[in-house]
Amino acid sequence: MFMTLILGIETSCDETAAAVVENGRVIHADVVASQTDLHARYGGVFPEVAARAHIETIDTVVEEAVLTSGKNWQEIEAIAVTYGPGLPGSLLVGVNFAKGLALGRSLPLIGVNHLEGHLYSTWLVNPEKPIEFPVVALIVSGGHTELVLMRDHGDYEHLGGTIDDAAGEAFDKVGRLLGLPYPGGPSIQKAAEGGSTTAYDFPRALPERPYDFSFSGLKTSVMRAVRPPHPHGGEKLKPGTLREGVNVADVAASFQAAVVEVLVTKTVRAAETLGATEILLAGGVSANRALREAFSQQTTLPVRIPPLKLCTDNAAMIAAAGFFLYQQGQLADYTLDVKPNLALTTYRGTSRGM
């Protein structure tokens, strides 16, 4: 097959990333500069700090991606960049950089939806094994929880999603509540080791809505279980102030089990009911070990989950999604603007109007 190399650029949140990917499936370079340490002291991403850090690192990151790919600029066929959803200032840095580069090097520009990027991170798993449609995909990140039926490239049916907090957001909020370091997901996974998953019977929400999720009640339940009695009312407790005798490992393990159970049950139900050939799992939360293990135990369908490095934000997934957009002529022009609230929408048979 003819080799098409796409340069991907991702700056939607707190990672500055660039990658070179062949035919949407084979990674030649994947560079991620994470700002986690910069934001840890704020207990979350500080938007202005993020945008400034992107400006400072983006050219080095892009240069390094092309250099380590072993390819030269003449071999790059197009530039794919995340234009939403995400933090406006952070997105602007990536989009403007990509526009300048595309213009300067006379290369086509492709605007990629960050959620579509996460979805396509699964195309980078077992590149030799084709993905047969339809598939059911669960995208679980810091800002999104989306259950999608994908009938073809660019053909998405939204089956359900969260009605309040995203799964990653729940991990981050409960992590903060327990006084664990940001981001909460990996911290809770670590804290849960050795804890009992049945020590607390936290709620599994929305049993009556087959494909929707809700995590804010779960967070409140954890809060009630761990916070000390509060005689004065009103005043705020410092994060990490816990009721005497609370076992953090047990709370973390029971909370994680509650999140995992609903994510797995609803996704497997959708895939089996709708005749999916396989399940795709993507987004930062798919790095969670308990979630990965639960999927493999609860369905006989194949489950495609990216390696840890491709679960959290990266540009290889943006280049992969970009390749399939490129193949279908879904190009952007130099008026491409950021869309901080972009949703995952079908583009098949349409012009995306970018």
The tokens describing 168, both together, are 């990653």
How many Å apart are CA 166 and CA 156, to the nearest integer? 20
| Binding segment (CB under 5 A) for Zn ion, from list 133-141, 216-224, 268-276, 300-308 | 133-141
Q: Do residues 302 and 45 lie in contact, with contact meaning Cβ atoms separated by under 8 Å? A: no
The verdict on 141 binding ligand KG4 (CB under 6 A) reads yes
User: Among ligand KG4, Zn ion, none, what does residue 184 contact (CB within 5–8 Å per kind)?
Assistant: ligand KG4
User: Among Zn ion, ligand KG4, none, what does residue 285 contact (CB within 5–8 Å per kind)?
Assistant: ligand KG4
User: Among ligand KG4, Zn ion, none, what does residue 85 contact (CB within 5–8 Å per kind)?
Assistant: none
The verdict on 141 binding Zn ion (CB under 5 A) reads yes
The verdict on 214 binding ligand KG4 (CB under 6 A) reads no
The verdict on 189 binding ligand KG4 (CB under 6 A) reads yes
Q: Do residues 301 and 278 lie in contact, with contact meaning Cβ atoms separated by under 8 Å? A: yes
289-298 and 248-273 helices cross at what angle (nearest 10)? 40
In the bound state with Zn ion, the residue whose beta carbon lies nearer, of 21 and 76, is 21
In this chain, which of 168, 195, 306, 322 binds ligand KG4, going by CB under 6 A?
168
Amino acid at 96: N
- Computed over its alpha carbons, how large is the radius of gyration of the chain? 21
The verdict on 313 binding ligand KG4 (CB under 6 A) reads yes
Tell me phi and psi for residue 139, to 5 degrees.
Answer: -105, 115
User: Among ligand KG4, Zn ion, none, what does residue 288 contact (CB within 5–8 Å per kind)?
Assistant: ligand KG4
In the bound state with Zn ion, the residue whose beta carbon lies nearer, of 253 and 342, is 342
In the bound state with ligand KG4, the residue whose beta carbon lies nearer, of 94 and 185, is 185
CB-based contacts of 200-207 (< 8 A; 24+ apart in sequence): 200/225, 200/250, 200/251, 200/254, 200/255, 201/254, 202/254, 202/255, 202/257, 202/258, 203/258, 204/258, 204/261, 204/262, 205/262, 206/163, 206/262
Smallest CA-to-CA distance from 252 within 308, 307, 290, 281 is with: 290
* Minimal distance, residue 316 CB to Zn ion, in Å: 13
Write out the residues near ligand KG4 by the rule CB under 6 A: 13, 141-143, 168, 171-172, 183-186, 189, 283-285, 287-288, 312-313
